Structure 1
Amino acid sequence: MNRTLDPCELLAAPGGMVDNIRERTNGQIVIEISSFPELGLAGPDTLRLVADGTLGMVEIYSGYIGGDLPIVDVANLWGVIGDIGTNWKTIEAVQGPIHKIIEERSNGIVLGESYYGNNYYYAAKALRSPDDLKGMKIRSHSTVLGDLINGMGADAQFVAFSEVYTALERGILDAAVTCGPCGAGLRWFEVADYLNGPIISIGVTYITINKDRWEEIPADLQAIMKEEAMAHQKENRRLVEAVWDPLGITENVAGGMEFVEFSPELKAALKQASINVVIPNWVDRNGGPDSEAVSMFNELVGPIVGVTIDANGKAIAN
């Protein structure tokens, strides 16, 4: 996705997935890491590009493909998730069915997942109450996040990750949302004064290889690739919670920002925005309350987050 992001660095690091696969296969499998900016690609194109073989392997972010395949956001209906432990449970609950759906739509095989930490508002002002967000132009990186921002009375803008620094610097954006280490990696602390949050929002990406390429690989080498992808997934999960998420705050504060933790009032408003806007809009994108997505939510995710989608497509807090 972008070389500055921690999970991407972990993939390419010495002793990481890419290195270990090359070593354990005696150089028979070599994965070349690149990024969307370097290749001139847009995140929403990833499903198509791996399906037609343009990319042999890709990291698919649910937020980027949620417009075309909204069911993948079933575990990422942010605002209604109260803590990281709950977020992990929602991710685990839908792994099997979501992997199957992505494989069908991408002509691919999902080897494992990468995880990106909680999101924060990088802003020129402190956000201490829901009223502070009214009318702000805020960068979003997914349809669900855009609905959450709009549901709070702000104006969501989709701006490429690599272009956010300049947009903040020039005042085109009033704020931008991303994970703490993600923004620190591109030095957003130079163009924003306050780190507000977090939105509990573990971002999930799916490490997916083109199926035709996969079937050309001998079974013993396939097994090595799967083992290393799962080892990466396990280590990524440990790091995102124990190291990267806390470091995302300290790095930005060291860069000159002030960390402003959301007040109980703001947390309650985020949850209500998710119930009133995020979930109903997601239901509509999936075809309504009788869709496969709603059934999956009510069966697997709703009991975890304490929300049910009714026959009219409305979200009801249990």
Structure 2
Amino acid sequence: MKKWMSIMIYSIITVLLLSACSESGNEANEVDAATKGDGFEATTIRLAYNLPQDHHISIGIEKFAKDVTEKSDGKVDVQVYPAGQLLSDKDMNQSLLSGGVEMVVNSSTLWASTVPAMGIFDVPYVFNDYSAVGEAVNSEFGDKLRGAMEEKGAKVLMFADYGYVQFANNKRPLKSPADFKGLKIRSIGDLPSELIKAYGASPVFMGGGEVYMALQRDTVDGATSGTTAMLQRKYDEVTKYLTINNYAYLEFLLAVNKDYWDGLPEKTQALIEETAKETEVWIREQAEKEDSKSAKALEEKGMEVYVVPEEDLAEWKEAADPVREAFTKHTGDLGKELLEMTDKK
């Protein structure tokens, strides 16, 4: 009898020990799985952008997509459609809002037609240096813009610094606003068009991929863009003169459809937001370097570069006053608030 009792007690102890080991093993597996990216729900995110693939924003976005996919062990699959493969820059915002695509990277200028306050980045001479932009978008200024975007159905995940915007043309050096008279200049949006008109030229709106041919065929005499895109789109082959006046600081937004975002698990949202924040910092660090490097490269390729002297900027700013008035007219109290915030910087 004692023998059987001993066997039963031994068996019970063995079962308890095995159970404890099993539970401990499961816990270890759960920790290990979490470390490897398991625990994410499978989802596919299509991300479209229209910039050249070697642009610093594009490089950052490609890394963002790769990092999200790898950190989730492939469960959150970010599929990138670069350089207008899926959507043109003129079409992607509406596609995002309608749910045709989950994520896009597009300019604040093009978003201004949907969220007028986004035109703040096109108001001439608002941002005087690179650091001022980063400070602004990570403060109440940026929060107001994010809120306005969400009201329309898009959540901003990242402000991607494109850099300053300049003018290129193939007719003559642009050394003062008066030199614009009679020219046809490619515009990138409503407020840049107002500036081009204020300087005496005629704006012609077109997407980035159309500009080279338009310049080559004299459909337009010049264009406004950043020197990074000018270099990558080979403006040096179809324009002769570059004017550096840093009239606007262009932002690109990584945005996601709000309804789609709200349906994602919190763990997935946290991963995407954390990775976007890291990428935003990296892109901002590149903007100033790339502006300087690309302007120098365009000059080396034969473009005649004119840098507007600091003492002459007052004339350019005064001639641009109608653009500031147009912005506040279309954006009301929010636009005035944003301008007041930047004026204090």
CA deviations on 1:219-250 (whole Å, 9 max, x unpaired) are 22221111110011000000101x21111112
C-alpha displacement of 1:10: 2.2
CA deviations on 1:256-309 (whole Å, 9 max, x unpaired) are 21221113465222211332x1111112222x5xx33223433x22323xxxxx
CA RMSD of aligned residues (A): 2.1
Using the alignment, how far apart are the partners of 2:324 and 2:100 within structure 1?
34
Is the counterpart of residue 104 in structure 1 residue 163 in structure 2?
A: no
Normalising by the residue count of structure 1, what TM-score does the alignment of the two structures yield? 0.85
Q: 1:39 aligns to what SS in structure 2?
A: coil
Q: 1:127 aligns to what SS in structure 2?
A: coil
Contact 1:87 1:201 in 2 (8 A): no
Using the alignment, how far apart are the partners of 2:316 and 2:128 within structure 1?
10
Q: Structure 1: where are the runs of 5+ without partners?
A: 305-318
Using the alignment, how far apart are the partners of 1:284 and 1:36 within structure 2?
34
1:315 counterpart residue number: none
Amino acid at match of 2:180: L
Change (3 A) 1:70 1:108: closer
1:271 counterpart residue number: 317
C-alpha displacement of 1:158: 0.7
| Alignment partner of 1:39 out of 72, 78, 86 | 86
1:295 counterpart residue number: 337
Amino acid at match of 2:110: Y
| Alignment partner of 2:217 out of 170, 173, 189 | 170
Superposition pairs of residues 147-296 of structure 1, within 5 angstroms: 147-241=194-288, 243-264=289-310, 266-275=312-321, 277-286=322-331, 288=332, 291-296=333-338
1:7 counterpart residue number: 57
Q: 1:225 aligns to what SS in structure 2?
A: helix
| Alignment partner of 1:130 out of 177, 181, 185 | 177
C-alpha displacement of 1:2: 2.1
Contact 2:126 2:248 in 1 (8 A): no
Q: 2:84 aligns to what SS in structure 1?
A: helix
Contact 1:144 1:278 in 2 (8 A): yes
**RCO higher in structure (CA 8 A, sep ≥6):** 1
Change (3 A) 1:65 1:84: same
Q: Structure 2: where are the runs of 5+ without partners?
A: 1-48
Contact 1:22 1:29 in 2 (8 A): yes
Q: 2:182 aligns to what SS in structure 1?
A: coil
Q: 2:212 aligns to what SS in structure 1?
A: helix
Using the alignment, how far apart are the partners of 2:148 and 2:211 within structure 1?
31
Amino acid at match of 1:280: E
Q: Which of the two has higher C-alpha Rg?
A: 2
Say how many residue pairs are matched.
Answer: 293
Using the alignment, how far apart are the partners of 1:215 and 1:91 within structure 2?
23
Contact 1:112 1:207 in 2 (8 A): yes
Using the alignment, how far apart are the partners of 1:59 and 1:293 within structure 2?
23
Amino acid at match of 1:137: K
Normalising by the residue count of structure 2, what TM-score does the alignment of the two structures yield? 0.78
Contact 2:163 2:251 in 1 (8 A): no
Using the alignment, how far apart are the partners of 1:229 and 1:264 within structure 2?
36
Is the counterpart of residue 30 in structure 1 residue 82 in structure 2?
A: no
